[in-house]
Structure 1
Amino acid sequence: MSASSSVAAGRGAPRQASGALWQALPFLGIFAAALILPMVSNDYWTLIATRAAIYWVLVSALNLVVGFAGQLAIGWVAMLTLGAYTTSVLVAGNVMPPVPVFPALGVAALVGGVFGFIVGLPALRLRTFYFAMTTLGFATIVTQVALAWQGVTGGGIGIVGPVLPAPFDTIFGFYLFCLGLAAFCTWISANAAHSRFGRSLVAIRDAEVAAESSGISKPRLLGAVFLFAGAMAGIAGGLFATLQSYISPEAFTFDLSVLFFIAILIGGRGSILGPFIATIVLTWLPEFAAPLVAWSTFLYAALLLAIVLLVPGGIAALLDFRSRRRIEADRTIVPRPELLPEILGGRKASEAITLKDIVLSFGGVRAVDGLDLTIEPGAVHGLIGPNGSGKTTTLNVICGFYRPETGSVTVDGEPLPAAAPQTRAASGIARTFQTPKLIGEASVLQNVMVGGAIRGRGSFVESLLALPRHRQDEAMLRHDALLALRCVGLGALADVRADRLQHSELRFLEIARALMLRPRFLLLDEPAAGLSAEEIRSLGGLIRAISRQGTGVLLVEHHADLIFEICDQVTVLNLGRELAAGTPAEIRAHPEVVSAYLGS
């Protein structure tokens, strides 16, 4: 890191601390009010507040699954049920000698985590409605097992819930314990949400293809999050059994599962504060509308419909004042390629990407037909041709989204695994897309930080607890993301939501995200589409500067002038076959290219 960068980072640290404190103020205010509550109310309202704290223990972790990863886990009451019965059965000694309540809660967390992971496995293949049905089906199975296993669970009669030891065996003591645990869960879920793992979850939700291209492993990440959400639900279940004093299958209703899910949707996806407030409101609301308790499911549905129609972003959108700030309308993109050595310098030299005899068909159409292609480091290689000639398909083969029928793709002489796009980032291959794949609800800075996700060294647990490696990762990714944005000319827009940017700025934003990988090879898919003449000139200068840092660039583009101005080599495709290859001057004079593509 240069001296100037160190100074900039030093100046940014107080601003980050101030921003974190500002974000924490609403939580601190709510927890301060919760501490005062028992002093100004009776035991009944303290019990209701205890219930809200227990629900938040579950919802805070489930929020990472539903709100951040976008998985419709509607039946998460199953994990609450498992945790409640596991804790109660172990403390009662129904299957072994009685276990103290705190170790029993630990076992409940383990059971919830294991089953959370198992239930989460279908999310790797099933989407939306189908995965929601899977979670609801599992919730039904758990309830039926509890009913049938009478010797252990008490069947329909139920079982006595556990009691915490002193000083947590009173209403006030138990409330303080649950409130402290809720505060801890708020902290760790916020740590995860604001880490590379939280950003990766949102990327999987909104831009899965770009997430895979950045090296984010969906199975590994979702597995960790489902395990965490199941463990927290298991603990919440044990505390729920303590609060209820006596549990039976009737305590774990569909309405309860809907409450957890609706709290996240009403709160707003990608937010911690919104679902936190929604959980409190939905827990307290039935107490103020007791005569309407039989209509609770209808009321939840009506409330959700009103939120979707009136405030689609939920409570979080209402509280997001930053996104409503005015930004300058007349903006000019001015890249600073002289900064590229800071982010791309110091890498080892690499060999070429080599495609050999690639064949790929869709039905009876040969999209790529026997293609040979070499992308040299430190050079710009243009790939042109008519629409449908196989240009983007070639990029998708290189990036692992398509498996070729025959042929091979190698880097440094080593074959790249087919149909494994998440492995390309580790080989130093980054790309952009025909249509920008970005997270509109996230800031420009957060979008760019996603590109460096695999460069972090801290584990998911380290991020939950904000341990040193997590803090080092965040500082490194933030510094490099700001540097990448300055390189492409978007430094002043770092804190702006990406969905407020102009189309041309989104093109440069994708390049900034790709630079976070410090790529050895950069694949650009029509980056000049929709750009003005001046922006195309800026883009060309930036691409040439990137190649001069030793990065091999494969440029798919329809702007022939840009191709012939900045490319060292050009390959022309037609109907999946190589029509011509050579220098820009050779391609300009090639009669078949002129006839099939360039025209007179």
Structure 2
Amino acid sequence: MAMLTATSAPKPARATSFAWARLAPFLAILLSAAVLPFVSNDYWVLIGTRMAIYWVLVSGLNLVVGFAGHLAIGYVALLTLGAYTTSVLVAGNVLPSLPVFAALAIAAIVGAIFGVVVGLPALRLRTFYFAMSTLGFATIVTQIALAWQSVTGGGIGIAGPEFPHPFDTAAGFYALCIGFATFTTWISANVGHSRFGRALIALRDAEVAAESAGISKQTLLIAIFLLAGACAGVAGGLFASLQTYITPDAFTFDLSVLFFIAILIGGRGSILGPLLGAIILTILPEVAAPLAAWSTFLYAVLLLLIVLVMPGGIAALLDIRNRRPLAANRAILPRPAALAEIMQGKPGDKPLRLRGIALSFGNVRAIDGLDLDVAPGQIHGLIGPNGSGKTTTLNVISGYYAAKAGTMALGDAALPPGRPALRATCGIARTFQTPRVIGEASVLENVMIGGTTSGTASFAEAMLSLPRSRHDEHALAAKARALLGVVGLDGLGEVRADRLQHSELRFVEIARALMLDPDMLLLDEPAAGLSNDEIARLAELIRAIAARGTGVLLVEHHADLIFEICDQVTVLNLGRTLAAGTPAEIRVHREVVSAYLGG
């Protein structure tokens, strides 16, 4: 990446101040946890221990529910597995008795494995269907615990593991659980604030855009289910020790609902919010003990209130910056000249070639034998009446539709039909007819998602915030800020994307696509909804992108824009090429004038 100008890089003092502001609430919670044994009795230490154990599980589950958006209601099953695994291994019911920490490590492995087993349906099922599958798994685990009496003790139960000195006292075990909770908070925050966390949110809210950025859903979700399952397994082992004796009755549906509602109360895509939610829901039964018999009813009422009154949860209430009004007279003022400092010049050897592309939807021939060539550094317009196959062509090139016939290639590399997540690594980026952005994420985070595949650190490195992961984040943030300056949105980086105007979202998508340094950029009606001045600025920006060596395939209904900036124009009608040539040739083509331009 080229050297960034001083104005494009974030100011160190400002970045440090923001980092401390984000860290301060966690430090306050940790300090409160540290002084709790000294200012309260053993009962509240017990409540604090339970709170820490619940959070160990919720910190991992939050990545599944809050970040990835999968309704995993039955995660109490993994708590059950962790509890029984630890207890059985320490008791020696199957193998020779193991030390408790070794058993806890094995419980984490078992939890990780079954976390993937529970999560696999998420690759195909969404919303309530996935929720039902997790509840079904929880029922299976409970029934096995009841039936396998020789190992689990059945309905009678089994003694929980005892930890050695100094963790064999209430205060010592509390300190151990707080330590685990602190560690899982740290790793979940590292993941959530990394390119992997942003990718999860993109898959949740804008899966099509996530695929265009090269995000692999299967690989990422499996990694998250492994981590969440391991956290649940460890929480189960700690829970078994806290209970001292466990039976299947200890793992109720109410407990599973508590974990789930803690995340909903906290807010999606947040670490602090669900942490506060878990604390509130653990303390609430203690301060409202007379209502304990009504717990399920109260959870239902609480869930309804969340949906109706504060759908954004605690995280939205704490997000004071995004409640400040934005300037009403904002103008988009791109600086195309700055592209030379950010994007590498292209060698100009990767033309896009389509030969004989055909695609049908039932009896409708959407594309019928299309040939198309887009040269590097060329702006190629694709026009035609509604239903002529323009956006369908972009979707075929992007891999969202698989052509039934024909071939595609970018340079010497063939583009296989389908498989949209592979297009980014091939050098193809795109925008969409309707802007596909993540409303709950900041503008800067939306742009950084475009550079997900350029990161070099592994998931494990991101989880532990190792140097290569930190370097990835700094580089992605610096490049994203610079590109926001290029498209004229450099003052809006920290603003939630759902607060922007439609025209601004158009330019956010272009900045996100440029994060790839693409060889080929597909623009789907980028001028729709823009004013005349904004269209003129968009034209200058597109010219600058092409001048850097990127091929541009432009679908647009603004004929003036097409004829002003395009080098070549292809006109489609009913999925076929009606005409192809220079803008001057297309302007006077008799059939084009009759079918599309009018006159």
- Please, what TM-score do these two structures have when normalized by structure 1? 0.99
Q: Secondary structure at the match of 2:367?
A: strand
Q: Which amino acid aligns with 1:24?
A: L
Q: Distance between the aligned counterparts of 2:207 and 2:523, measured in 1?
A: 18
Distance in 2, matches of 1:3 and 1:323, equals: 31
Shift of 1:8: 5.4
Deviation at 1:347, TM superposition (A): 4.1
| Gap change, CA 1:126 and 1:57, over 3 Å in 2 | same
In structure 1, the residue matched to 2:588 is 589
Report the Cα distance in structure 2 between the residues aligned to 1:125 and 1:335, rounded to whole angstroms.
41
Q: What do residues 181-217 of structure 1 show as CA deviations (whole Å, max 9, x unaligned)?
A: 1111111111111100010000000000000000000
Listed as ranges, the matches of 1:215-294 within 5 Å are 215-294=214-293
The reply to whether residue 298 of structure 1 matches residue 259 of structure 2 is no
**Residue aligning to 2:579:** 580
CA contact (8 A) 1:462 1:469 kept: yes
Alignment of structure 1 residues 100-499 onto 2, 5 Å: 100-499=99-498
CA, structure 1 residues 282+430, in 2 after alignment: closer, same or farther (shift >3 Å)? Answer: same
Name stretches of at least 5 consecutive residues in structure 1 with no aligned partner: none
Letter in 1 for 2:375: E
Report SS of the residue matched to 1:180: helix
| Post-superposition offset of 1:295 | 1.1
* In 2, Cα distance between equivalents of 1:298 and 1:476: 49
CA distance in structure 1 between the partners assigned to 2:4 and 2:237 by the alignment: 53
**2:5 paired with 1:5:** yes
**1:569 alignment partner in structure 2:** 568
Q: Is the 8 A contact 1:343 1:483 kept in 2?
A: yes
Match of 1:491, SS state, is coil
Percent identity for Structure 1 against Structure 2? 69
Q: Structure 1 residues 134 and 541, CA, compared in 2 at 3 Å: closer, same or farther?
A: same
Tell me the distance in 2 between the aligned counterparts of 1:448 and 1:275: 26
TM-score, normalised by the number of residues in structure 2 = 0.99
Q: Name the CA distance, whole Å, in 1 between partners of 2:399 and 2:453.
A: 17
- CA-to-aligned-CA distance 1:267-309 (integer Å, 9 cap, x gap): 1111111110010010111111222112111101101111211
Runs of 4+ with >6 A deviation: none
Residue in 2 that maps onto 1:538: 537
Counterparts of 2:374 and 2:259 in 1: how far apart (Å)? 51
Q: Which residue of 2 aligns with 1:21?
A: 20
Q: Does 1:560 align with 2:559?
A: yes
2:51 is matched with 52
Q: Hey, what's the Cα distance between the residues in 1 that align with 2:100 and 2:345?
A: 55
1:344 partner letter = M
Distance in 2 between the 1:136 and 1:347 partners?
52
SS at match of 2:5: helix
Which amino acid counterpart does residue 84 of structure 2 have in structure 1?
Answer: Y
> 1:67 and 1:377 mapped to 2: Cα distance?
41
- Alpha-carbon distance in 2 for matches of 1:247, 1:16: 48
Check whether the contact 2:49–2:177 (CA below 8 A) recurs between aligned residues: yes
* One-letter amino acid of the structure 2 residue matched with residue 559 of structure 1: H
Contact 2:56 2:180 in 1 (8 A): yes
Q: Spell out the pairing of 1:34-45 with structure 2 (5 A cutoff).
A: 34-45=33-44
1:38: Cα distance to partner? 1.2
- What does the per-residue CA deviation read over 1:386-413, in whole Å, with 9 as the maximum and x for residues that have no partner? 0000000000000000011111111113
- TM-superposed CA distance for 1:570, in Å, is 0.3
- Whichever residue aligns with residue 564 of structure 2, its letter is E
Contact kept? 1:400, 1:420, Cα under 8 Å: yes
Count the aligned residue pairs: 599
Q: Is the 8 A contact 2:83 2:236 kept in 1?
A: yes
In structure 2, the residue corresponding to 1:408 is in which secondary structure? strand
Cα deviations by residue, 1:25-56 (Å, 9 ceiling, x for unpaired): 11111111111111121111100110000000
Q: Within 1, Cα distance between the matches of 2:408 and 2:131? A: 38
- Cα separation, 1, equivalents of 2:384 and 2:531: 22
CA-to-partner distance for each residue in 1:455-502, whole Å, 9 max, x for gaps?
000111111111001100001000100111011111111111111111
CA shift, 1:346, in A, is 4.1
Within 2, Cα distance between the matches of 1:149 and 1:64?
32
Deviations 1:543-600 (A, max 9, x none): 0110010000000000000000000000000000110000000000100000000001
Q: What per-residue deviation string (whole Å, max 9, x for no partner) do you get for residues 313-333 of structure 1?
A: 111111110111121110111
Is the 2:586–2:592 Cα contact (8 Å) retained in structure 1? Answer: yes
Q: Secondary structure at the match of 1:457?
A: coil
Distance 1:67 1:537, change over 3 A: same
CA RMSD of aligned residues (A): 1.1
Q: Does the residue aligned with 1:492 lie in a helix, a strand or coil?
A: coil
- Check the 8 A contact 1:343/1:515 in 2, yes or no: no
Tell me by how many angstroms 1:417 deviates. 1.8
**SS of alignment partner, residue 563 of structure 2:** helix
Q: Is the 8 A contact 2:350 2:519 kept in 1?
A: no
- Whether the 8 Å contact between 2:3 and 2:341 is mirrored in structure 1 is no
Matched AA of 1:152: V
What's the secondary structure of 1:578's corresponding residue?
strand
| In 2, Cα distance between equivalents of 1:474 and 1:325 | 27
Q: Contact conserved, 1:350 with 1:520, CA < 8 A, in 2?
A: no
Helix, strand or coil: the match of 2:210? helix
Deviations 1:162-188 (A, max 9, x none): 011110110000000101111111111
